[in-house]
Structure 1
Amino acid sequence: MRPPAREVIAAVSTGFEELNVSSVDTDGPDGPIGWPGYGVARAAAAERSGESESVVVGTAKVGDVETVLITWEFGFLGGSIGQRTGDRVEAAFAKARELKLPVVSLIATGGSRMQHGMRALSQLQRIARASAAARKDGVAQISVLRDPTTGGGWATLGASADVVLGLPEAQVGFAGSRVRPATSPSEAYTAEAKYEWGQIDQLVEPEDLADVLARWLFLLTARSTEAAEPPAALSAVEPPESGWEAVRAARASSRPRAAKYLNSYFEWRETISGDRAGSVDEGVLCGFGRRNGRAVAYAAQCGTATRPAGFRTAARLVRLASRLGIPVLTLVDTPGAANDEDAEQAGVGAAIAELFEAIATAEVPVTTLVIGEGGSGGAMAFAAPGSTWVAPDAYFSVTSPEAAAAILKRPMTEIPEIADRLRLRPADLVELGIANGIVRAAAR
């Protein structure tokens, strides 16, 4: 049983005030294309649901943040999108731009309203235009994919939001259940599948939704011009004396990894996941966290070869933080970019270029800490020029000593000597002007 729109609103917010949106109806009792019986069906839907249209819009507090809510009523003609739906969604975004408020879309729709024909389909353009204008004005947007989220609801507000949350077992997909190929497995049209394929950031249980939304809204609206400070080192070790010693320290299994750094740095954090194009790189952690009462975005490598999806997710994170005015922290730890056939086919070069551009054009300060291996361009893409620090058990190099030996056609026995010649130690990086300094472990 799907909860009605106002029940959903009450579950996640307080003080809801509905927007009064006027719509001019010049289409006659059976709608814009004169669909026989539509007027009767619409009246029955209104009586059954208690609503006059398929979406309810207004302002409310979610946690401590005043927010514009766009909430679908599936009980009104299957939450279908018609002319008046577009009127209300457009008015909601106009209010968000006027008051500089974030927007949360709580979606449950089967798509466009058949009885409105092309008038219904054209509403998707209106919705996309209103959303894009608000995004340009710095309005943060979160979508919650309820059951079902299909058709234009998924292809506009659902998939385009800055952060996409899905309720478990919700039907999610462009094709609704009555029009998709009979041979397609139903599992492909679920929130779980979309999460696995990098199209949803988080799966959230209904009872946790209010708290998750409150945390996200704090994070996405906490603008700051102050750069994130680099984390303290988590290993109380002395910087290495030789290049090969630096490489071995960075590769040690006991060295702290990204998750430990993030958990130590933030009071709490929320994650974004996936490249929105079908892939997730588990070796890259991205999201936003709270530190000392303010928000910081993060993109962190976890010590594996970074895949195209990892670079694209990090680029998405940096662009979003830049648009919302939130400083960024990146953690470098990779032997290099993935260079297998699958990575090449997935466009690893273009993905790296995308992240380089995102950091180069960011309008917020980006801070970098090298916490382990800094292997070649796959690591450099995550690094902020002029604002990079290095941990004492890390290194940063044009390539690995082994790869350098192969490129230079030197015997493997010379790898330790090549490591010294590459000047990849923390102290070398500072002397070369690549790193601002070596971070130390916090005093206890």
Structure 2
Amino acid sequence: MTYLEFEKPLAEIEGKAEELRAMARKSEGMDVGKEAAALDKKAADMLRDLYKDLTPWRKCQVARHADRPHCKDYIETLFTEFTPLAGDRNFADDHAIMGGLARLDDKPVMVIGHEKGHDTASRIARNFGMARPEGYRKAIRLMDMADRFGIPVITLIDTPGAYPGKGAEERGQAEAIARSTEKCLQIGVPLVTVVIGEGGSGGAVAFAGSDQIAMLEHSVYSVISPEGCASILWKDAEKMREAAEALRLTAQDLKKLGVIDRIIKEPLGGAQRGREAAIASVGSELALMLSELEGTSRKDLIANRRKKFLAMGSKGLAA
């Protein structure tokens, strides 16, 4: 288990409990049951206290945790008959974006998502979930296909942001993101989104022009990363904690603001401590969101989606 910075006291207690058990395994007559149980209880209480009221910056850290389930994990667990589709039919295939046809509860869907990778080699191959223009153009192609065949679309968001490299800019990064966002608003089939980790900048918005948007409890969704915001506003990336507070990037804040529609509860300690339970919760929420949209006409889906995004911010303006 990888511990975050604010979890270091917890790491010490759990480490001591494991040391006691390791000593007992080596010495047959040694009984450490009571001592280990006391440490376990202390650790459980501390974990509950740590996660009871996380600050926005700590939520950012949890959302970025390397052990959280990624898009590939959700696809392999929740979907059957997944058939990956590759390439943008123009330049290349972008491995930061996974997409393809699948079945959710035996119903056909098109699933698209950011994949960060799980180890050094896969993270480099996936570019840490930062898509290039060809990734967004692949997503546009898959959404077009789903629209043509009347198949609902599911998007799973987990990215620090779109790749900002020179090559990506030369190949039209901004235009690709804009067209992907536009395509979300144009398709006449149900489109549902879950932010499973980081929802960073236009790289996330490009997949989130949806009928229903859900966020995992400790995920984040913002126009810019706290570090990037701090660098621009204060010329100091170390002010990321203040930036995280100001950005209102938590699921709880965004639900109040009307930017997202629902929050999916995570296991105590975050999705990284209960991967199977977190994945199952996302699967249940996806099925529920799609069932609520079932039977809605193409015309109404497009019109309602448009109204939804035009209405965002109206509460704050009225206040």
Q: TM-score range, shorter-chain basis?
A: 0.5 to 0.7
Q: Give the one of 68, 72, 77 matched to 1:255.
A: 68
Q: Give the one of 343, 359, 362 matched to 2:184.
A: 359
Secondary structure of the 2:113 match is strand
CA distance in 2, matches of 1:255, 1:371: 9
Q: 1:246–1:394: 8 Å Cα contact kept in structure 2?
A: yes
Is the helix fraction higher in 1 or 2?
A: 2
Structure 1 counterpart of 2:220: 395
Structure 1 counterpart of 2:264: 439
State the shift of 1:392 in Å: 2.0
Deviation readout 1:183-204 (Å, 9 max, x if unpaired): xxxxxxxxxxxxxxxxxxxxxx
Change (3 A) 1:238 1:362: farther
Change (3 A) 1:427 1:325: same
Q: After TM superposition, list the pairs within 5 Å mapping 1:53-72 onto structure 2.
A: none
Structure 1 counterpart of 2:120: none
Change (3 A) 1:263 1:248: same
What is the TM-score when the length of structure 1 is the normalising length? 0.45
CA distance in 1, matches of 2:173, 2:53: 32
Q: 1:240–1:393: 8 Å Cα contact kept in structure 2?
A: no
CA distance in 1, matches of 2:52, 2:210: 22
Structure 2 counterpart of 1:7: none
Secondary structure of the 1:396 match is strand
Structure 2 counterpart of 1:308: 133
State the shift of 1:393 in Å: 3.0
State the shift of 1:371 in Å: 0.6
State the shift of 1:276 in Å: 0.6
Q: Give the one of 244, 257, 266 matched to 2:57.
A: 244
Q: What amino acid is the match of 1:247?
A: C
CA distance in 2, matches of 1:392, 1:264: 20
CA distance in 1, matches of 2:145, 2:51: 37
Q: What amino acid is the match of 2:222?
A: S
Q: What amino acid is the match of 2:168?
A: A
Q: Give the one of 241, 246, 256 matched to 1:421.
A: 246
CA distance in 1, matches of 2:142, 2:51: 33
CA distance in 1, matches of 2:160, 2:243: 16
Task: Select the structure with the greater relative contact order (CA < 8 A; seq sep ≥ 6).
Answer: 2
Q: Which moved more, 1:300-309 or 1:405-414?
A: 405-414
Q: 2:190–2:211: 8 Å Cα contact kept in structure 1?
A: no
Secondary structure of the 1:438 match is strand
Structure 1 counterpart of 2:165: 340
Q: What amino acid is the match of 1:331?
A: L
Change (3 A) 1:238 1:367: farther
In the alignment of these two chains, the number of paired residues is 208
CA distance in 2, matches of 1:429, 1:265: 26
Q: 1:335–1:373: 8 Å Cα contact kept in structure 2?
A: yes
Structure 2 counterpart of 1:273: 86
CA distance in 1, matches of 2:96, 2:210: 23
Q: 1:240–1:392: 8 Å Cα contact kept in structure 2?
A: no
Deviation readout 1:298-357 (Å, 9 max, x if unpaired): 110113211111100001111110111000000111111111110011111111122112
Structure 1 counterpart of 2:109: 296
State the shift of 1:385 in Å: 3.7
Q: 1:390–1:438: 8 Å Cα contact kept in structure 2?
A: yes
Q: 2:227–2:239: 8 Å Cα contact kept in structure 1?
A: no
Secondary structure of the 1:371 match is strand
Change (3 A) 1:240 1:326: farther
- Structure 2 residue runs of 5 or longer lacking an equivalent are 1-49, 117-128, 266-277, 282-319
Structure 2 counterpart of 1:324: 149
CA distance in 1, matches of 2:180, 2:205: 10
Q: After TM superposition, list the pairs within 5 Å mapping 1:31-430 onto structure 2.
A: 241-303=54-116, 304-430=129-255
Q: 2:192–2:212: 8 Å Cα contact kept in structure 1?
A: yes
Q: 1:240–1:246: 8 Å Cα contact kept in structure 2?
A: no
RMSD over aligned Cα atoms: 1.9
CA distance in 1, matches of 2:202, 2:93: 20
Change (3 A) 1:421 1:298: same
Change (3 A) 1:386 1:240: farther
CA distance in 1, matches of 2:199, 2:78: 21
- Structure 1 residue runs of 5 or longer lacking an equivalent are 1-236
Is the strand fraction higher in 1 or 2?
A: 1
CA distance in 1, matches of 2:241, 2:105: 42
Secondary structure of the 1:252 match is coil
CA distance in 2, matches of 1:341, 1:259: 28
